[in-house]
Amino acid sequence: MDSNTDHLVWGVTIAAAQTEGAHDRDGRGPSIWDTFTKKSHKIKDKSNNQIATNFYDRYKEDIDLSIDIGLKIFRFSISWSRVLPKGTGSINKKGIAFYNKVIDYCLEVGIEPWITTYHWDLPQNLQDKGGWRNREIIIDYENYITLLKDHFSDRVKKWILLNEAIVCVGAGYFLGIHAPGKRGIKNFSASIHHMLLAQAKGHRILKERKGLEVGTAVSCTKIDSYSNQRKDLKAAKRIDALMNRLCIEPYIGLGYPEKELPLVKRFKKFIKDGDMEEMKVDFDFWGIQTYAREVVRSAWYIPYLGSVLVTPKKRKVPVSVMGWETYPEGVQYFLERFSNYDPKKPLWLSECGIALSEKEDDSERIEYYKKIINGMNKVVDKGINLKGILLWTLVDNFEWAEGYVPRFGIVSMDKKTLNRKMKKTAFWLKDYLSSNSV
Ligand code: GCO
């Protein structure tokens, strides 16, 4: 043991829509991703997630693999429409039973289960009523959280409410490139506000039970300006406010970053008296998820944002299979930045990984994680309250609109047999964790 990061806990994150499969089994209702993937042109390789990695049947194998690698946390998400097929109303007991099995198995073999309550797969029935655009969804979310609390919080102590609200709403309700494929400023404004408010209410509900640690997972993208010209610097501030502050600062009591991001004015008609006050909640931890860096320049002709991205290709920087600039330095940057909000607040890297292409030799991923460890070392040296890191992800899976082409897993999967095989990174990590474990 030679590092100051030995106390950090390592785990893994997965998400229901990307792994479970079993889309119509045992009473599960459809989610917006079931509907979206039927429009085949929406998914790059024309695939869907009906089988995915079949975590539904193979959860034991995946949990065993995680244990074998030396991981201590298994973060998974609940498919809302598996436990409440219509998103509201009658409960699907078989859905509850499935998650009970996952939780109990984790506890039996000695890995800590963490729950994400919402990782983007809204029940289709709720979308039919407007989805996040409709304020009534807040009540549905509260009821859903109460159900999860009643069934699972006796054994699950760590909870993440929303996974990356900005990506979920930005891609799904503004750009239309993710389910439910809605576009436009009105959809965006209403959905962000309702989702963030729902999360605050969900937090209060879960905290009624003593001993739970309840946080949120936020997407963080380092934003730099293309030049030192004033208009580019301003554009960078605008995009930074959108990507890295909008879904965070209302909780800290700072409100929406209206000064830097004028489009926030559009939110006004959806904000009711008392909402901003209600939004102030003290999360037990921040889950930080950072994958990339973007460079932006001012572009007056782009509505609402007035900015364009200068693509990594133009900038000639290394990219992952997602087309994102490979930027492990972001970890240190964002951990420091969040620590500035409140140095005492525990921080987790609740997702961390890189997409490569289909090959067994993923040495590049090992190099990536070494750089991440380096960054974690530096922040721990500075006294930042980092608790641990959850990898994205265990098994190669359904990467949303990108289908199965980008491979984020440290374990590969044969598409026909669904058999799993540890990649080089998994062996390397196993070694690393066994020699660094406390
Ligand atoms: C996200 C989601 C994951 C993704 C991963 C890679 O951050 O977008 O949480 O579901 O698969 O981040 O894009």
Q: How many distinct helices (H) and strands (E) make up the chain? A: 16, 11
Q: Which of 20, 325, 351, 399 is catalytic?
A: 351
- In this structure, the residue with its CA closest to atom 1 of ligand 1 is 164
Residue 242, pLDDT score: 98
pLDDT of 268 over the 50 cut: yes
What mean pLDDT, rounded, does the chain reach? 97
What is the tens place of the pLDDT at every residue in 291-304?
999 999 999 999 99
DSSP 8-state assignment for residue 370: H
- Euclidean distance between CA atoms 279 and 199, whole angstroms: 8
Residue 351 annotated to the active site: yes
pLDDT > 70 in the chain, percent: 99
Q: Could you tell me the distance, in angstroms and rounded to a whole number, from the CA of residue 408 to the centre of ligand 1? A: 9
What is the tens place of the pLDDT at every residue in 371-419?
999 999 999 999 999 999 999 999 999 999 999 999 999 999 999 999 9
Question: Which atom of ligand 1 is the closest one to the Cα of 15?
Answer: 10
CATH topology of domain 9-436: TIM Barrel (3.20.20)
What is the tens place of the pLDDT at every residue in 252-267?
999 999 999 999 999 9
pLDDT of 2 over the 50 cut: no
Q: Could you tell me the distance, in angstroms and rounded to a whole number, from the CA of residue 184 to the centre of ligand 1? A: 22
Look up the pTM and report it. Answer: 0.98
Q: Is 302 helix (H, G, I), strand (E, B) or coil?
A: coil
pLDDT of 328 over the 50 cut: yes
pLDDT of 438 over the 50 cut: no
Q: Could you tell me the distance, in angstroms and rounded to a whole number, from the CA of residue 1 to the centre of ligand 1? A: 32
pLDDT of 72 over the 80 cut: yes
pLDDT classification of 437: cutoffs 50, 70, 90: low
Residue 61 annotated to the active site: no
- Euclidean distance between CA atoms 4 and 1, whole angstroms: 8
Ligand 1 pocket (Cβ < 6 Å) reads: 15, 18, 163-164, 167, 219, 289, 351, 392, 399, 408
Backbone angles phi, psi at 282, to 5 degrees: -100, 90
**Can you list the alpha helix ranges (DSSP code H) found in 212-253?**
230-244, 249-252
Question: Which atom of ligand 1 is the closest one to the Cα of 397?
Answer: 11
- In this structure, the residue with its CA closest to atom 4 of ligand 1 is 399
- The per-residue b/e assignment along 183-206, b for 16 or more CB within 10 angstroms, e otherwise, is eeeebbbbbbbbbbbbbbbbbebb
Q: Which of 164, 294, 325, 399 is catalytic?
A: 164
Residue 359, pLDDT score: 78
pLDDT classification of 3: cutoffs 50, 70, 90: low
What is the tens place of the pLDDT at every residue in 358-381?
877 999 999 999 999 999 999 999
